[in-house]
Structure 1
Amino acid sequence: MKPLDNMKTNYSWVKLLTAISVATVLYSCSNTSATPGMPQQAMALPVVPVTTTTATTFREYPASLEGKVNVEIKPQVEGYLEKIFVDEGAWVKTGQPLFRIDARMYNEALNTANASLLAAKANVAKAKVDVDRLVPLVENKVISDVQLKSAQAVYDAAVAAEAQAKAAIANAQINIGYTLIRATANGYIGRIPFKAGALVTKSDALTVLSDIHEMYAYFSLSEPDFIAFKNQFAGNSIEEKVKQVPPVELALADNSIYPVKGKLSTIEGQFDKTTGAISFRATFSNPGGILRTGNTGKVRIPQQFNDALIVPMEATFDVQDKVFVFVVGDSNKVASRPITVTGKTTNYYFVKDGVKAGDKIVFSGVGNLQDGMAIVPQPMSADSLLKAKPL
C-alpha cells in the first residue's frame, strides 16, 4: 500500500473514533438528566425561627490617645545646657526645676543695662539743670525761648534714654529668669534628647511633659456613621445627643477592655474635606497610669437593643450591598427577602424590617437555593442556636 493510501486510511479512523466519542458523551448526558416532568428531590436544610432579644452591642472606632496635658518644653533663650535636674520618665510638679542654661552672658547683659541706666540718670540730671537755668532768663527776656526749647528737648531725650535703660534691665532680668526652666504642669517627663553641655536654641524641644491622669481618645466617624449616631440618641442638637451617650469603653491594642469607662466629651465642628470624617473625643480617667500618650485602641460606643429581631449571619447572603435571607413559606418553598440591618454582633444581625418574629428562615446552605425551590425543613430551636452561637 502506498504511503498516501495509509494516510487516508488513518484519517478515516480518526474521524470515526471522534464521532463515536461525541455520540457516547451525548448519550451519557441524556441519560443523566432528569426525565421531563419528574420532580427533583428536595434538599433537607436546617430551618430556624426568627426571634427577638434584648442586648447591648458596640460600635468600634480606631482611636489615638493623648494625655490631657501634653506640652513641649522649649527654652526661651539660647545657650549651653548647664544642668539637667530630672530624668526621663520622672513625675514632676508645677514649678519644679527641669533644666538650667548657662546664665553668664545674660548676667553681663544685666550689668551693662544697669550701667546704661546710671549714665541715663546722669544725663537726665544734667539736662534738668540746663532747663532750670534757662527758664528765668527766658522769663526776664534776657535770651530767646529757642535756647530753652532746645534744652527742653535734650532733657526729654535724656528721660527717654533713662526709660529705655530701665526696659533693658527688665529684659535682662527676664532672660536670666528664662535660664532656669521649670515644669509648667504636673506630669511625666518624656525623652530628653540633649545632654549637659549641649548648645540649645529656642526651636529645640528639650522634652515633652505629659499629664496622664486623664486621657483623651480621639477618633473619627464617617458620614454614614455620624448619621446613624444622630439617629441613635435623643436630643435637638448634637451637644444634647452627646450628653445622652452612655459611658463608652476602650479596647486596647491587645483587644483587652480597659477597666475604666469613659465619657464622650466633645465633637469637632465640621467634616474633614480630605477624609470625609468628623472627629470625636472621649475622656478616660487614668489613675494607675496604664495609658500613655501615643497608645492606640478602639473606642466602643454602646448600642442598646430592646426586643430586637435577630437573624444569624450564617443564614444571610449579600447581593449588591443588600442583605437577604430565604424565608420558608407554603409547601416548604423558599423565597428570598431583603432585610434592614441596624446593628450586629459576632454571630447575628439586628434587623429592623424584612422579616418578623416567628418567620422561619433557612439557616445554612442558602448558596444552593433559588426562589421557589422546595426544601425538606429540619427544624432548629432558637434557644439551642443561641447556646451554640451566643450573641
Structure 2
Amino acid sequence: MLPACDSGQNSNISSPPATKPQVSVVTLHPQSVAITAELPGRTTASLEAEVRPQVGGIIQKRLFEEGGEVKEGDALYQINPATYQADYDSAAADLQKAEAALPSAEAKVERYRGLIDQNAVSKQDLDDALASLAQAYADVAAAKAAVETAKINLAYTTITAPISGRVDKSTLTPGALVTASQDTALTTIRTLDPINVDVTQSSTNLLNLRQAIDAGRIKISGSNVSVKLKLENGTIYPLTGKLEFAESAVSETTGTYSVRAQFPNPDRLLLPGMYVRALVEEGVADNSFLMPQRAVSRNAKGEPTALFVNGEGKIEERVLDVGQSVGNNWLVNSGVSDDDRVVVEGSQLVRAGQDVDAVEVIIDDTTGEVRERKQGALPSTEAVSNVASNESLGKIEADASVKN
C-alpha cells in the first residue's frame, strides 16, 4: 500500500509553470548629436615677454611687486642714469654749437653771391662758402641724431613693461650690474586673460571627420567653433572658449597636428603649463542613434554586436557599424532603426530566438548606469539571473513536501 500511496501523491504535484527570462531594454530614437573631440593639451599664456635691459648699469630700484599685475608701460626697474644724463647733456651742447655756426655760414654764402657778379670774389671762394654751409647743415643733423640717441639711452635707464599681465619674480636685486641685451632676463611677464590652450589632434581623426562631412553624416557648426575645457581634477571649466586656428601641416614624426583654442580667464584660474583636455565641437550629426555602451559587445570575428527584442518578443542579434563614443554611448552609423529595443541588462542569460519579457529602463548618460525602472522591473542583472534558479528551487521544495 505504501508504494501506491506515494504514487498517488506524486501524481497530484504539478511542476511550476516555465517563466520567461526578463531583460531590461532601452528604446532607440533618432536625434541630433553634437560631435565632440576630447583632445589633450596644455595651457599657454596668450602673450609672454622676457624683460631685459637695453643699456648697462647698476640697478637702483625695483619698482614692481613680484607676482602682481602690471600694465604696458609701467616702470619695472630703475638703472643709474647719471652717465646717460651726462651723455645727453653733452649731445645737447654739441647741437647748440652746430646750430650757432649755421647763421654765419649762410650769411657768407649770401654775401659771396652778391659779390660774384661784381667780380669782387672768385668763383672758388663762393664754392668754398657753399661747402662750408653744407658742412654746417650736416653738423646740425649729426648733433640732432646724437641728442636723440642720448635721449633714448637715458629713457632706457627706466625699464618698462612691454605688455600687460602678471609679472614673475625678479632674478636680480638692486645693486646688481646689468648689461645691454644680456642672456639672463630680469623677469617675465605673461598675459593670462585671455589664455591659450594648445592641443593635438591625430590625422586619422581629421580624415574620419572630413569624410563624414563629405558623406553628409555630420554638418559643421560654422566658423565659430566653441570649445569646453576639462581640468586636471575632472571638473569642467565654466567659461567657453573658441577655436583660434589649426596648423596646416601634419607632423611627420607623430602624425598629429596642433590646434589652438582661446579661453577667457578673468579669475586667473588657469595658469600656463596646466594639463587639460579640450572638448571641441566638430559638428552635428542629424538623425543619428546613440546606443549605451553597456549594450554593445563583440562577436568571435571582433565585430560590434547587440541584442534586440523584436516585435514578437524574441531576441535577435545584429552586427552594428559603430562610430565614435559620445559620453557613455556609442554613435551607431547603421544596424538600428527607430523604436528598436536594445537589451542593456540580462543579455548573458538569453540567446537569439528566445522569448523574453522586456522591461523599459532609462540609462543615465553621465554614469552609464540604470537611472529609472518601470514598475515591476527587476532591480538588477543579479535578480534576472535568479529566474532560472527559482524554477529549480520550486522543484526542490515540492519534492521535500512529498517526502514529508
TM over 0.5, shorter chain: yes
Corresponding residue pairs, total: 336
The answer to whether structure 1 residue 51 and structure 2 residue 51 are counterparts is no
- 1:388, 1:270 → 2: CA distance? 38
Which residue of the partner structure matches residue 340 of structure 2? Answer: 358
Aligned counterpart, 1:217 = 197
**Deviations 1:129-183 (Å, cap 9, x if unpaired)?**
5434433332211333122112211220121111110111011111111211223
Where does 1:302-321 land on structure 2 (aligned, <5 Å)? 302=281, 308-317=288-297
2:68 corresponds to which residue? Answer: 90
Task: Go from structure 1 to structure 2 and tell me whether the alpha carbon gap of 1:58 and 1:291 turns closer, same or farther (over 3 Å shift).
Answer: same
What one-letter code is carried by the residue in structure 2 that aligns with 1:345? Answer: G
Whole-angstrom distance in 2 between the partners of 1:334 and 1:233: 30
Give, in whole Å, the separation in 2 of the partners of 1:255 and 1:321.
36
In percent, how many aligned pairs have the same letter? 22
Aligned residue for 2:223, secondary structure, equals: helix
Q: How far apart are the structure 1 equivalents of 2:218 and 2:152?
A: 53
Root-mean-square deviation (Å)? 4.0
1:158 aligns with 2:136: yes
Q: Which amino acid aligns with 2:187?
A: T
Residue 345 of structure 1 pairs with residue 327 of structure 2:
yes
Gaps of 5+ in 1: 1-43
Aligned residue runs from structure 1 range 2-41, under 5 A:
none
Q: Distance in 2 between matches of 1:285 and 1:88?
A: 23
Question: What are the residue-to-residue correspondences of 1:131-280 with 2, within 5 Å?
Answer: 131-198=109-176, 199-203=178-182, 204-226=184-206, 231=213, 234=219, 241-243=222-224, 245=225, 247-260=226-239, 262-268=240-246, 270-274=248-252, 275-280=254-259
Out of 333-342 and 172-181, give the one that drifted further.
333-342
Deviation at 1:390, TM superposition (A): 5.3
1:358 maps to a residue whose letter is D
In the alignment, is the contact (CA less than 8 A) between 2:165 and 2:191 conserved in 1?
A: yes
Against the structure 1 CA distance between its residues 378 and 304, is the aligned structure 2 distance closer, same or farther, given a 3 Å change threshold? farther
Distance 1:374 1:92, change over 3 A: closer
- Looking at structure 1, the residues matched to 343 and 53 of structure 2 have their Cα atoms a distance apart, in angstroms, of 70
Say if 2:320 and 2:332, in contact at 8 Å, map to a contact too: no
Counterpart CA distance in 2 for 1:134 and 1:69 is 63
- Shift, 1:99, TM fit: 0.9
Alignment of 1:59-74 (within 5 A): 59-74=37-52
For residues 364 and 314 of structure 1, the distance between their equivalents in structure 2, rounded to whole angstroms, comes to 11
**Separation (CA, whole Å) in 2 of partners of 1:67 and 1:375:** 61
Any unmatched runs of 5+ in structure 2?
Answer: 1-20, 372-404
Amino acid at match of 1:169: V
| Aligned-partner SS, 2:138 | helix
1:289 to 255, 268, 274: 268
Query: Per the alignment, do residues 324 and 270 of structure 1 end up closer, same or farther by CA in structure 2, a change over 3 Å counting?
Result: same
Structure 1 residue matching 2:361: 3-state secondary structure: helix
Contact 2:292 2:344 in 1 (8 A): no
Work out the CA distance in 1 between the residues paired with 2:314 and 2:358.
15
CA distance in structure 2 between the aligned counterparts of 1:125 and 1:337, rounded to whole angstroms: 100
Residue aligning to 2:56: 78
Out of 63-72 and 331-340, give the one that drifted further.
331-340
Match of 1:3 in 2: none
Q: Do 2:323 and 2:332's aligned partners in 1 also have CA atoms closer than 8 Å?
A: yes
Q: 1:322 to 1:98 in 2, by over 3 A?
A: farther
Distance in 2 between residues matched to 1:299 and 1:99, nearest whole Å: 39
Question: Taking structure 1 as reference, are residues 365 and 127 closer, same or farther at Cα in structure 2, changes over 3 Å only?
Answer: same
Asked whether the 8 Å contact 1:95–1:184 carries over to 2, the reply is yes
Change (3 A) 1:146 1:316: same
Q: Deviations over 1:188-236 (max 9, x none)?
A: 212322222221432443222233232222323333434565638746x
Distance 2:139 2:363 in 1: 92
The 8 Å contact of residues 47 and 378 in structure 1, kept in 2 or not, is answered as: no
Shift in CA distance, 220/142, structure 1 to aligned 2, threshold 3 Å: same
Amino acid at match of 2:195: M
Aligned residue type for 1:288? D
- 1:300 matched residue in structure 2: 279
- TM-score scaled by structure 1? 0.70
The aligned runs of 1:112-131 (5 Å cut-off) are 112-131=90-109
| Structure 2 Cα separation of the partners of residues 233 and 147 of structure 1 | 89
| TM-score, normalization by structure 2 | 0.68
- Alpha-carbon separation, structure 1, partners of 2:26 and 2:95: 95
1:340 aligned partner, one-letter code:
V
